[in-house]
Amino acid sequence: MTRSEKEKMLIGEPYLCMDPELVEERLKARQLVYDFNQSKPEDEELRKRILDQLLGKHYNAFIEPNFRCDYGSNITVGKNFYANFDCIMLDVCKIEIGDDVLLGPGVHIYTASHALDPIERSKGVEFGIPVKIGNRVWIGGNVTILPGVTIGDNAVIGSGSVITKDVDANVVVAGNPAKFIKHIELNKK
């Protein structure tokens, strides 16, 4: 069975990014993102309708403009999601975000990657690795999350951090690359 380039992309196999189906889907997403980013501050209903068309699944997500993504359809967010200004989600693979997650301004989440071999890279071959963010996570401003990362529940990511590997639940991490800072003592009330 031969897989389409889109099927290969979604399961993390190398694929050709300039495949006509993928180009068309990215163009559709870019038009929706453009409309979202050009909306007036008081146009909350319009923004909600655009997010309904753009995102794979969400429960009343609140995203401040400007927002960017590749496809949108590979992004799912839970309840009470908030993304501050200038969020970028490169969603060639799934980006799964839990409930009660807060993103500071300028957060970038990448699932897209490229071959290390320059010949392969020049042919337009890409691949992706999913990103998963648990529940009640707070991600500070200007954080970059690299492909394949999983962030556990209740984690806090310090501003300006680069997340290159998985983050345990109930911890604070920060830095470039991010390193463990401390455990979070949960309030049992």
What CATH code is carried by the domain that includes residue 151? 2.160.10.10
The reply to whether 21 falls in a domain is: yes
**What range defines the domain where residue 61 resides?**
5-183
pLDDT score, position 189: 67
The single-letter DSSP state of residue 164 is -
The reply to whether 119 falls in a domain is: yes
pLDDT score, position 115: 86
Q: How far apart are CA 78 and CA 75, in angstroms?
A: 10
pLDDT score, position 124: 85
Q: Which of 58, 108, 114, 183 is catalytic?
A: 114
Check if 114 is active-site: yes
Angle at 76 between CA 70 and CA 77, to 5 degrees: 120
**Sign of the alpha-carbon torsion through 56, 59, 60, 63:** negative
Please give the model's pTM, rounded to 2 decimal places.
0.95
pLDDT score, position 87: 98
The reply to whether 35 falls in a domain is: yes
The reply to whether 188 falls in a domain is: no
What's the domain count of the chain? 1
8 Å CB contact between 95 and 150 = no
pLDDT in tens, the chain (189 residues): 799 999 999 999 999 999 999 999 999 999 999 999 999 999 999 999 999 999 998 888 999 999 999 999 999 999 999 999 999 999 999 999 999 999 999 999 999 999 888 998 888 889 999 999 999 999 999 999 999 999 999 999 999 999 999 999 999 999 999 999 999 998 876
Residue 138 makes CB contacts below 8 A (sequence gap 6+) with 101, 102, 155, 156, 157
The one-letter amino acid code at 180 reads F
Q: How far apart are CA 95 and CA 145, in angstroms?
A: 11
